[in-house]
Every structure is written in C-alpha cells, then in structure tokens.
Structure 1
C-alpha cells in the first residue's frame, strides 16, 4: 500500500458491498442518508448560499458613491450658476474674469470626480431598484444615467478646448497650468463655444428630468427609490 493514499472501505474490504464486514454496509447507508438530509435542510442551505454570495444585494448605494453623487451635483449647480451670470457681465471686468476662472476650475473638478465615479461604478454593482417599477422606466433610468456620466466628462473637455481656441490657458486653482492642446483659432473658438453651451443645455434638461423622476418616485409612487441615494430617506 502506498503511503498517503486514502482508500475507501469498499476498496479495503472488497469491490462489492457484499464483501463488507457484517453491519458495515448498513452503517454506510445510514451515514449517506444523514448527510443527504443535512444538505436538504432549508436553514443549512440558506446559510451555505449566503456564505458563498460574494455580491450581496443591497438597497442603498455605498457611502463613496453617495458622497461623489452629491459633491458632483453641487459643483454642477455652481457651474451652471456661474456660467449663467458671468456671460451677462459686459466687458472684461475683474469680477467677470474671476467668475470665468471659477467656472473652469469647477469644470476640471467635475471631470476628475466623474472619472472616479465611473471607475467606481464599473467595480461596484448598483443596488437593485424596488419591485414594481416598470421595465421601460428602468431602461429610461439607465439611459439617463449613461448620458449624465457622458456629459459630465464631455462638457469640461469642450470647455477646455474652447478656452484653448480662445488663446486662454486654463490654470487650475490658479496654481496648476494645464497644457494647451490646440492653438488660438477664432473660427474654431466660435464652434466650440456653441458646442459647449448646447451641451450644457442638454445636461440641464437631463438634470431636471432626473430630479423630477426622483421626486415622483418618492412622493407619488412611494417605492423607496430615493432612499438609495439619500441615507436619511426611506
């Protein structure tokens, strides 16, 4: 017999159950039945399944996702506000130039945070939507979220190119000069300005739809959807 090789009782006592010692085959059958009954026990199966579930279903976003969501939301609101009032200031006053700088800093920050948010989203599964939500509403929500992420990345880039085409370098927070990819170009400047402005209008429309849908689910449907992103709301 080779050392370390584990052999079954049937191998040791013979190839057939009839060659086992008296009572040994009956004991093996009892053991098999007990093991089968143990694994058929609902409580045991539930415990084993929960212990092997590596991605448990949650009803709320993680703290990191919630923090990024609301920080980006506040920055977008601030960027909208600055973009709205700074264009109404005539000439190139110090106040207008200051607002332009703040607007650009917000755009760069939103771009970086949105990139982190997208990476986080690809590695962390979103909580399941409440039961009872129609399939078309779930599809619309997925499309809206995708468009929001896309615009949060594309709009700052369009503004960065617009500033470069205008011959104005972006200095992040007043201390970090960003490289200028394209040179001054008046024709391109006008095109990029229109692109930047209209992309912001699209983002504004999506944000309004997003907010109205969340409020509808909370106050009309009362399905708890808003509670996934607001910790103190159920």
Structure 2
C-alpha cells in the first residue's frame, strides 16, 4: 500500500487513468492520426478520391472536437494519476506543457477547419447524420487565412504526436518507468 510520502512506495503497479480517460485518449489519438493521414496522403490523388477523403476528414474533425470537449470535462472532474517520483522536474514541466498544447490544438485545429469551411461556404456533413451550422459568414480572405492557419496547426499537431509517441517509447523501453501502462486500455 502506498504511503503519504510516496504514492508508489511498496506498490508494483502505477496508478492508472480512469477507463473513460483511457478510451477517450485512444479514440482521439487514433482519430487525429487518421485525420493527419487523410489530409496528407490524399493530397495528390484524383479529385474525387481527395474530395471523399476530405469529407471524412471534416466529419472526423468535428467528432474529435466533440470528444475533446468530453475529455476536458472528464479531466476537470477526475484528477489524473500522479507521475512517479522518479520523473525529473524538467520532464514533469515538459509533460504539463505538452498536455496543454495537445488540448489547445485539439480545440483550435477543428475549430479553424470549421471557420475555414464556413468562410468558404462549404457545409460540413458529419457522416451523413447532420450538417454542422456555419460559424462564419462567407468571406474569401478569411477562408484563405484559415486554410493557412489550419495547415500550420495540423503540422504542429503532427510534430507533437511524434514527440508524444517518442516519449512514450522512451519511457517504456529506455527508462522502463511504467508510465505508458497508465494509458493501456488492456
């Protein structure tokens, strides 16, 4: 059993995130990776293939936004498990910064796409279930600006995903810290 001085003393298992937090993490993470792939890998494909992929990309972006809002509410109501004491101060600080950036990008990226599509007067159909209402009046200059911002945010997200995966692999195979097990759905 853990002592007050050390939440991991005498324990062979690290505290874990809740099942809801774990599943939201993996659903959002896989959706983000799929969306980055859809945007980047279909760029040079025939117009009809690219257009179909972008329809899925937009719908998935709205789903990511909704799941992120659920995750933020869940996170506010359920404290995440503490990091092991073996994690250095600089890694703890970097972890907080990366998590903040993820949440910011998980909101800003789909919102920028939504504003872009609204300003371009292109409705977003969510998997044939409903059409998302516009949040900006048609405006060609705004559409072009948001297109640029959306792509920049997407590249930033890609870099952050790569850093996150590299850090998880380092913690698992180099440090053997057990941190990745906290998010293992199985």
- Displacement, 1:131? 2.0
Any unmatched runs of 5+ in structure 1? 1-45, 47-57
- Displacement, 1:174? 1.9
Distance across 2 between alignment mates of 1:63 and 1:98: 33
Aligned-CA RMSD value: 1.5
The answer to whether structure 1 residue 74 and structure 2 residue 50 are counterparts is no
Contact preservation (8 Å) 2:105, 2:157: yes
Could you say which structure has the greater relative contact order, defined with CA pairs below 8 angstroms and 6 or more residues apart?
2
The residue number in structure 1 matching 2:72 is 118
Distance across 2 between alignment mates of 1:222 and 1:105: 38
Alignment TM-score, normalising by the size of structure 2: 0.88
The residue number in structure 1 matching 2:182 is 228
- Displacement, 1:231? 4.6
The answer to whether structure 1 residue 183 and structure 2 residue 153 are counterparts is no
Matches within 5 A, 1:145-156: 145-156=99-110
- Displacement, 1:218? 1.0
The answer to whether structure 1 residue 205 and structure 2 residue 171 are counterparts is no
Distance across 1 between alignment mates of 2:129 and 2:22: 29
Distance across 2 between alignment mates of 1:231 and 1:131: 23
The residue number in structure 2 matching 1:88 is 44
Q: Max radius of gyration: which structure? A: 1
The answer to whether structure 1 residue 109 and structure 2 residue 63 are counterparts is yes
Deviations 1:19-58 (A, max 9, x none): xxxxxxxxxxxxxxxxxxxxxxxxxxx9xxxxxxxxxxx7
The number of aligned residues is: 174
Distance across 2 between alignment mates of 1:151 and 1:140: 16
Deviations 1:171-209 (A, max 9, x none): 211231211122222211111110000001111111111
Contact preservation (8 Å) 2:102, 2:160: yes
Alignment TM-score, normalising by the size of structure 1: 0.71
